[in-house]
Amino acid sequence: MERIPMTPLGHEKLQRELYQLKNVERFQNIADIEEALGHGDLSENAEYQYAKERQGMIAAQIKHLEDQIARAEVINPATITSEKVVFGATVKVLDLDEDKELTYTIVGSPEADSQLGRISVFSPIARALIGKYEEEEVEVPTPRGRRTLEILEIRYEALEAVEGDDAK
pLDDT in tens, 56-100: 999 999 999 999 999 999 999 999 999 999 999 999 999 999 999
Quick check: 52 and 67 in contact, CB under 8 A?
Answer: no
Which of 14, 23, 1 has its CA nearest to residue 109?
14
What are residue 166's phi and psi, to 5 degrees? -95, 15
> Which helix (DSSP H) or strand (DSSP E) does residue 101 occupy?
strand 100-107
Cβ neighbours of residue 166 closer than 8 Å, sequence gap 6 or more: 13, 16
**pLDDT at residue 18 in the model:** 98
Contacts made by residues 75-79, CB under 8 angstroms, sequence distance 24+: 75/5, 75/6, 75/7, 76/7, 76/8, 76/158, 77/7, 77/105, 77/156, 77/157, 77/158, 77/159, 78/156, 78/157, 78/158, 79/156
**Domain limits, the chain:** 4-74, 77-156
Quick check: 124 and 140 in contact, CB under 8 A?
Answer: yes
The answer, as to whether pTM is greater than 0.85, is: no
pLDDT-derived band at 167 (thresholds 50, 70, 90) equals: very low
pLDDT-derived band at 42 (thresholds 50, 70, 90) equals: confident
- Residues 2-15: what's their mean pLDDT? 94
Which of 83, 149, 99 has its CA nearest to residue 119?
149
3-state secondary structure of 113: strand
Q: To 10 degrees, what angle do helices 46-70 and 26-37 make?
A: 160
User: How would you list the strands of the sheet with 145-156, edge to edge?
Assistant: 118-120, 100-107, 89-95, 145-156, 137-142
CATH of domain 77-156: 3.10.50.30
> Which helix (DSSP H) or strand (DSSP E) does residue 46 occupy?
helix 46-70
**pLDDT at residue 165 in the model:** 58
Please name the CATH architecture into which domain 4-74 falls. Answer: Orthogonal Bundle (1.10)
3-state secondary structure of 107: strand
